[in-house]
Amino acid sequence: MDHKLLKAAATGDADLLEQVLGLQPPAAAEQGAECCLKGVTAEGSSALHIAASCGYLELVKMVCARDISLIKARNNLLDTPLICAARAGHVDVANYLMDCAMDEQEDLRARNLDGETAMHEAVRNGHLHVLQGLMSRDSGLAGVADENGVSPLYLAVASNRADMVKVLIGKSSNPETSLCYSGPDGQTALHAAVYVSRDNEGLYPVHIAAIEGNANVVCKFMEICLNYDELLDNKRRNILHCAIEHGRVQVVWHIWRSPKFVRMMNARDDEGNTSLHLAVKHGRTMIFSFLMMDTRVNLDIMNNEGLTPLDVAFSKIQSDYTFSSFMNTSIITCLTLCEASGSPCHQARNLTDKWCSEGKKELGSYANVSQSILYISIFIIVGSLAAASTPPGGYIAEGKDAGKPVFEGRTGFWIFVIANTMSFYLSTATIFLFVFARLTRHRRFYLILSAVLVFGAVLSMVIAFAIVVGLTLDPANGWDESILIWLVSNLAFPICLRVAMQLWMSKHRWQDISKVVAQTILLIYVVRALIISMQSLVKSVLPGRQGPCSWPGCVIQGDAVLLYPT
């Protein structure tokens, strides 16, 4: 294509186009103009394609006046000038080209490389007036499907354009013209209508699938519903917002990999929250990691309250005494390292006001949690002192080793001593921490540290209890008793797992954990007392139980010994 002709068509310069078309002498002007207009770009587009795509009606009229055959011209994608104008939504250009068509039906129903007509392009891109012009000239276009079986009506329904659906159905009343309802994979426009219907909360089926966490259904909706990224509920939430709020990691993963994630990642709901705001607000660390992996996610967008994601993280970590504080700390660290900024307005005004207004509430929460931890610490200290004064097996009564623990030479005894000592010192350190925790500035730090120490003390106590049970069992007959303990442990594991899951889902996690820990410690002491009582009873009733089994019939040791004691 001539350079000046390309410049004139791309910029809409009518004077330059007249100059290009009028370079030849008058006798040969028409023939030379036609030869000049036959030139195409590397994409195969003629000057009429370019002018129609840009909406330059005057240039389109000038080109058609010189060479009307260019209306049928095709580029490398088999697009006609009419298809280009319909795709761009230039109503005046599209109407002029339709009026100038020599063979109306053939030109209006021309298909491109994807088998789509000008009506497909008009509906897909939401150009209602172009669609009306096409339907007024050839309503039979509504019955033409592309190579994938997708009809204009299906596209209109899938795009949730009720106005276009009315035009397609209303102007297809000609009995000789059949309206095509087909869609991809044997579907119809009715399928698409179901996909884009809403409930009373404005939720589309794809929203509900995202909320329920059904990733396969969400992926199917994403394939069928072409504008799934534009579907919003009454709270202006897209499917990414819904999936994040309900912690559906797999759904977020599929959305994150989709090409339309870019349009949804920084979209805001009616409260101004982006997907990153919601991930931080609800403590979705895995989803937060997905979002942070994309550098196009804006870290500094403020919601309607003037809060950035970093501000939301700070506000959340300052408002609850739960294990989620550790997660919030990691989120804050990540945002800070990525140079996320907070709102100066929020830092200057809201933080101070919040500390003042929530001081009493936070103090009450601190008192409840600290009281529970303090009781547990004292309970463990008392138990550790009792265990230290009465070691497992007692003391040797006679001989040169009189006064020494019975199991002093065994490895398990020293493990018991270490575990019991750790539980004592950790609990003691927890009590001292409460003295420093009375300082408001460091209250949260010392409270979290004391909770960690108490957890370590409880764990040490459990280890000490297990060692005591192992030491007090008869070494000669301990295999069957070990099996019994193993079976009980296997039964206890799912119970403990269930309790842990309930604690994780609890709204008052700290209070529930305190109750469970206290009950567990009490249960340990009760079971320990029962075991000691049973051992004393067996020794008193069966004094020969301490010696080896010498009865000929005593083949299976353990429970069989009760039948044939020595």
pLDDT in tens, 401-450: 777 777 777 777 888 888 888 888 888 888 887 766 665 555 666 777 77
pLDDT of residue 105 exceeding 70: yes
Q: Supply the pLDDT for residue 33.
A: 53
The pLDDT of 131-149, averaged and rounded, is 87
- Name the CATH superfamily for 1-112: Ankyrin repeat-containing domain (1.25.40.20)
Q: Enumerate residues 6+ apart whose C-beta is below 8 A from 455.
A: none
pLDDT of residue 237 exceeding 60: yes
Q: Supply the pLDDT for residue 121.
A: 93
Give the number of other CB atoms < 10 A from CB of residue 91: 19
Q: Supply the pLDDT for residue 145.
A: 87
Give the number of other CB atoms < 10 A from CB of residue 211: 17
Q: Supply the pLDDT for residue 256.
A: 86
Distance CA 419, CA 425 (A): 10
Q: How far is CA 499 from CA 329, 373, 495, 509, 550, in A?
A: 26, 19, 6, 12, 47
Q: Supply the pLDDT for residue 54.
A: 92
* Best mean pLDDT range from 7-21, 51-65, 290-304, 470-484: 51-65
Angle at 524 between CA 530 and CA 542, to 5 degrees: 20
Tell me if the pTM is above 0.85: no
The pLDDT of 378-394, averaged and rounded, is 81
Q: What are the tens digits of pLDDT across the range 506-515?
A: 555 555 566 5
Give me the percent of the chain exceeding a pLDDT of 70: 67
* Best mean pLDDT range from 95-109, 192-206, 306-320, 522-536: 95-109
Output the CA torsion 291→296→297→299 (10° steps). 120
pLDDT of residue 470 exceeding 50: yes
Q: What pairs with residue 395 in β-bridges?
A: 405
Domain boundaries in the chain? 1-112, 198-357, 359-471, 473-566
Q: Supply the pLDDT for residue 505.
A: 55
Q: Supply the pLDDT for residue 508.
A: 56
Does 347 or 56 have the greater pLDDT score? Answer: 56
Distance CA 51, CA 351 (A): 58
pLDDT of residue 133 exceeding 60: yes
Could you tell me the two tokens for 479? 């295999």
The pLDDT of 354-371, averaged and rounded, is 57
Q: Supply the pLDDT for residue 361.
A: 53
Identify the weakest region by mean pLDDT among 264-268, 318-322, 439-443, 534-538. 318-322
Distance CA 168, CA 116 (A): 16
Q: Supply the pLDDT for residue 29.
A: 44
Distance CA 424, CA 114 (A): 77
Q: Would you place residue 226 in the very low, low, confident or very high pLDDT band (cuts 50, 70, 90)?
A: confident
Give the number of other CB atoms < 10 A from CB of residue 448: 18
Q: Supply the pLDDT for residue 181.
A: 74
Does 389 or 210 have the greater pLDDT score? Answer: 210
Of 235, 231, 236, the closest CA to residue 205 belongs to 231
Does 86 or 283 have the greater pLDDT score? Answer: 86
The domain made up of 198-357 has a fold known as 1.25.40
Angle at 197 between CA 191 and CA 203, to 5 degrees: 130
Give the number of other CB atoms < 10 A from CB of residue 327: 17
Give me the percent of the chain exceeding a pLDDT of 90: 14
Q: Would you place residue 566 in the very low, low, confident or very high pLDDT band (cuts 50, 70, 90)?
A: very low
* Best mean pLDDT range from 50-54, 167-171, 176-180: 50-54
Distance CA 49, CA 31 (A): 20
Distance CA 551, CA 57 (A): 114
Q: Would you place residue 24 in the very low, low, confident or very high pLDDT band (cuts 50, 70, 90)?
A: very low
Q: Would you place residue 534 in the very low, low, confident or very high pLDDT band (cuts 50, 70, 90)?
A: low
Does 518 or 12 have the greater pLDDT score? Answer: 12
Coil, helix or strand at residue 372: helix
Q: Supply the pLDDT for residue 533.
A: 58
Q: Comparing 1-112 with 198-357, is the CATH topology the same?
A: yes
Identify the weakest region by mean pLDDT among 228-232, 324-328, 402-406. 324-328
Q: Supply the pLDDT for residue 178.
A: 62
Distance CA 90, CA 384 (A): 85
Of 153, 77, 84, the closest CA to residue 115 belongs to 77
